[in-house]
Every structure is written in structure tokens, then in C-alpha cells.
Structure 1
């Protein structure tokens, strides 16, 4: 009898989605998600100024912004924010899983490469929770970049499959999905690490 290795069996994939499908499914989620990001920036701007640059450890700014973002997402979505395996925090809403990460120049999450991160970036099924979970929900990343001036910019939702970004939903897309305009006023940046908040987001009104 021929011995068959486990990795010869194809792994099941998560539900594959396109951009329009995602925009429809998350139409009630996108605006509060971006609002949470800008609320987090305000909190970050206040708190980062309390620590002089000479006392900031490596990745201090990115980790602080991520913590503030998680805090604001929890304020908006409550118990839909869950902690999975290895302490990963994720938003589980409307049949989707959303992680939060700083992005690199290619809009990919800045991860240490692991088997789990490779599985996530290839939309392979697998339990991300300690309890029973069917593993079919598509995974998205809500991320942002840090530019050469130290500004956190370009918040966006990205969908990754086969190890590359397939599409994204950014603020321009959000504007096109809404009817009324809401302006979030910019804050003055800190002396060392600035924040760009000059953005207009449209919001439905009844």
C-alpha cells in the first residue's frame, strides 16, 4: 500500500468573496469601523505625546495605535470583538472575520511569518478560536500605513488570498457608498510622530 502524506490532501478553503459582495454584507459595519480608527487616532495623539521619543521602545507607536484601535472597535461593536488562539483579537461580524494590522508598502499585514499567518493569507479553513468553529468565514484585514514623515495614513480594509492583496475598501469607496457627508476635522500632529486625519466620510442620515 502506498503511503500518503497528510499534506497531499487539499485543504478546504474559506468562502470566497468579491469586493461588491463584501460592501453589501458590511454596509452597516464599514462606517463605524472607520470612525473607530479616527477615534483611536485622537486617543493615540494625546497619549503618545506623554512619552518622549528617547524613551519609546521599538514599535511603540504602532503598538499604541493598535491598542487604541482595539479599544475603540470594542466600544462600537462590543462582544463581536473576540480573542482567538494565541491571543489574536478579531472582529466577527456578519459572517466575516476582521483582523487589525499595520500594513507594509504592498498593503500586506506586517507579520512574522508562521504557518497560521500563511494559512490566513491563503484563506484556508482552520479554527481560529478555542471553541468549535466551522472556519468558513472569510478573513479581512483592517489596516493602515506609516509614511516617511511618521504619519499614520491610508486606513483600509483589504482582502488577501493566495498570499497577495486581491482588493481593498478605502475611504473613497466608503464615500461612494453613502449619501451624506461627515467631516472629521484634523488634529495638530505631535512634534515627533504626526497623524493625518484630513478625511471626509459620507454617512447615511434618516
Structure 2
């Protein structure tokens, strides 16, 4: 990133194998419902200068990629195996026909694509008892991800109480904090029952 020229950057990658990224190698972004493997400028330095990044998601039966945003890029998501139900809430002022906040829901299968706009809140859910694999493409070498529940409950208790209108308070806030699963989590109750998957006990 600090190289003065593109020629200097190439000199820092003398081995041709440094221009291959292997999505078969697991990373830390693993939860009970699956895993994400991300090629960005940290995990794949050859991307520096390309303005792009890629992620591959492996979502187990009933897995849900929990509510998140990408602060530095839109996302184009393509399913290559299985099926995903996606939901996205764009920015303030995007309304539905009744004047309420619009939530865009899609159901996509193999080789179908949906966009998630930069900064939009979105999630993906595998409603089936079989695995789903997807590819996500980004216009950033460092797209960034913010897991919304983690970020929300990182605030102080009094701020959370105020934001929730006093409906959640005190010790209950800590209970919620501890219950937030890592992405990708196990999902919707109906799917878990249908697929015979036991929820985590905590």
C-alpha cells in the first residue's frame, strides 16, 4: 500500500503463487451456521491497486448471515449452489407503498444475483436442509463489515436503554450482549425444526 509505484508493488510480490487466492482455506469468520472466506488487501495483498474484493460464503442448513453493513462498497451476491432468502433495508427515506420503511426481500437460486447497496443493512438466510454457497463481489479492497447487533450492544447501557425506549434495561442488556451469535448463525425456528437441527443451548 505504501509502495511509490505499481512497479514497486509488483517487486514486493516476487513469487507468482502470491497471485493466487485459495478459497478452500478456512478463515476466522466461522459460526455455527457456516463460514465466510474473504479476499481483501490484507488476506490477499495482490488485490492492492485493483479496487476490488471477493468473498465466498458457505451457509449450512438454516444458517443466517446476521444483520450487517459494508461501509466502503456495494455488494453483488451470486448464489452458485442452493438457495438464499435475502432482506435489505436501504437508507432513511426509502419507503414502501404504504409510507413505511421499505424492506426489499429476494429469493435467489443458482446463478441468480441480487445487489446490496453500500451502507445498507442486509442479511441472508438459507431456508433449506442442504448447503448453500454464494460469491460476493465488492468495489473495494477493504470493504469492511459491521455486524449491526454487535455494534449496537457495544454502546453503554444508558444509551441502549434510551434507544430502545426503556423496553430493555439493566441486566437484560448483558443477557442480550452475551446471546448475540457470531455470524454465520443458526437461523429461523421453523427451518431448524424442519431439518431436525437442535438450537444451541445458550
Question: Comparing both chains, which one has the higher relative contact order based on Cα–Cα distances under 8 Å and sequence gaps of 6 or more?
Answer: 2
User: Which has more helix, going by share of residues?
Assistant: 1
Larger Rg: 2
User: Which has more strand, going by share of residues?
Assistant: 2
